[in-house]
Amino acid sequence: MSAKEVSKEKSMIIQKEMLSRHFKALSTAKETGKKVVYTFVPGNLSELILAFDMLPVYPEINALQSGMRKKSRDFIRDSEKIGYSEDVCTYVKCDIGMMLNGNIGPTGEKLPEPDLLLLSYTGCFTFMKWFENLERLYPGVPVAMLHTPYQEGGKISDEMVQYMVKQLKEDVIPKMEKVSGKKFDPDRLSEILGYARQSQDLITEIFNATKHKPSPIDAYFAGVYYIGPINAGFRGTPEAVEYYRELNNEVQLRVKNGQGPVTPAGEMEEERFRLVLEGPPNWTNFREFWSLFYNMGAVIVASSYTKVGGVYDLGFRHDPWQPLESLSKYCMNCYTNLNLPQRIDLLAKCINEYEADGFLINSIKSCNSFSAGQLLMMRTLEDRLGIPVGFIESDLVDPRYFSYSNIKNRLDSFFQMLDQRKIIQNQQTA
Ligand code: SF4
């Protein structure tokens, strides 16, 4: 690594300003009369929320921010004190703990109470239980639920789309009209979807850049920052398009210059291992976790986690000409709503197209939605592609389940295996 200081790129500054404006708007929502919607990242209806000029709050983003700011330990403890068991998803416990402590958001400003709880349910049962709890904690706040049919058969049928459009028309939109006091304007929604589409094109191009060698970015550790605006309510805005255009320019310049990813320790000088990674990251020890990879010259060239708010590399785009249908298809295409064979096929596609040397799973103790079936994924990919596979364990925001030495031991063995394979491959081609 070069010891040079990591300077802030223009895209980082744009993102910081966007997020700070958003949290400012949230903190003053009650004075400005803006209505606030609590909702989730997977299957989020950001464009619809924007069409009603409402502001979204994503509890799981607050939880991960609390994890990064070392606040989650106490929040989780406070939730456990009032009866949440050790097995409950730690995003939920962190979020409830944050509420019990005054609901102070990531920027230190108080988050407003919700005017609407919008549960768009996409494959993770915890979402339902989470919102049942929020409903109890915010009595009287209306709840709109959008039920997304699971892609059990690996296909989206017309009936499934119509089932969702009906819910949007008959339940979700009327509730939004009532809460916001505004009539639904389909033209406004179409305009917003047009921006969403542009952002989706750009983010796909950005993540595709990892096909280059060296990869100009880390698609997981830096990728979680890149998906920030598209997942945090900005997807259908001109600001998001500007952000992704700028980021894409920066990434393409790195490709042109043959540069590797920027890490907290500077620019990676040698790309030794290219990996595809399945599972969310650990947030409480994010830097330490990342260092276990960049210190070994390991770059994540694709990850399932960065597709949690939308799988765009398979071609899905919001469609301004079919607004409600495309909102429905978006929800059904979320990673957590794909069946296991679809997830395995997607990961296999990434391993092949991004020419990965290995496949790694970070299994999250408290996230059943990601963890279920991960061993099957690992064995299937190993058999199908003959690729070295590895398995590590941690948690989202509970620091009690991050063990640096355990993860390091497992990664050391995994990297040794990758090294050995490279030696054998080189001997065979020599
Ligand atoms: S269990 Fe996993 S997918 Fe479900 S809410 Fe928790 S972190 Fe999200």
pTM of the model: 0.94
Measured CA to CA, the distance from residue 95 to residue 260 in angstroms comes to 36
The structure tokens 């009595």 sit at 139
Amino acid present at 16: K
With the most atoms of ligand 1 within 8 angstroms of its CB, the residue from 370, 371, 374 to mutate is 370
User: Contact at 8 Å (CB) between 65 and 106?
Assistant: yes
Rounded mean pLDDT, 224-230: 95
Find all residues with CB under 8 Å of 254, minimum gap 6, and list them. 209, 216, 217
Q: Could you read off the pLDDT of 124-154 as tens digits, one per residue?
A: 889 999 999 999 999 999 999 999 999 989 9
Query: From ligand 1's centre to the CA of 361, what distance in Å?
Result: 16
Residue 238 φ/ψ, nearest 5 degrees: -65, -30
Tell me the pLDDT band of 298, cut-offs 50, 70 and 90: very high
The pLDDT of residue 241? 97
For ligand 1, what atom is nearest to the CA of residue 127?
5
Ligand 1 center from residue 254 Cα (angstroms): 34
pLDDT at 7 over 70: no
Residue 2's pLDDT is what?
Answer: 44
- CA angle, 136 then 29 then 242, to 5°: 115
pLDDT the model gives residue 3: 40
CA of 403 to the centre of ligand 1 (A): 21
CB distance 340 to 266 below 8 Å: no
Give the Å distance between the CA of 283 and the centre of ligand 1: 14
What percent of the chain is modeled with pLDDT above 90?
89
**C-alpha of residue 287 to centroid of ligand 1, in Å:** 22
Residue of 44, 58, 282, 367 to test ligand 1 pocket, by largest number of atoms within 8 Å of CB: 367
C-alpha distance from residue 135 to each of 52, 118, 122, 139 (Å): 22, 11, 19, 6
Which amino acid would we find at residue 117? L
Asked whether the beta carbons of 299 and 368 are under 8 A apart, the reply is no
Q: Give me the pLDDT at residue 81, please.
A: 96
Give the mean model confidence (pLDDT) for residues 409-420: 96
- Is 90 touching ligand 1 by the criterion CB < 6 Å? no
Which residue, 211, 187, 196, is CA-closest to 310?
A: 196
- The CA 336 to ligand 1 mean position distance, Å, reads 9
For ligand 1, whether the C-beta of 370 sits within 6 Å is yes
Is the C-beta atom of 334 inside 6 A of ligand 1? no
Cα dihedral sign, 217-221-225-226: positive
CA distance 174 to 68: 37
> pLDDT tens digits for 260-286?
999 999 999 899 999 999 999 999 999
> Using a 6 Å cutoff on CB, does residue 372 contact ligand 1?
no
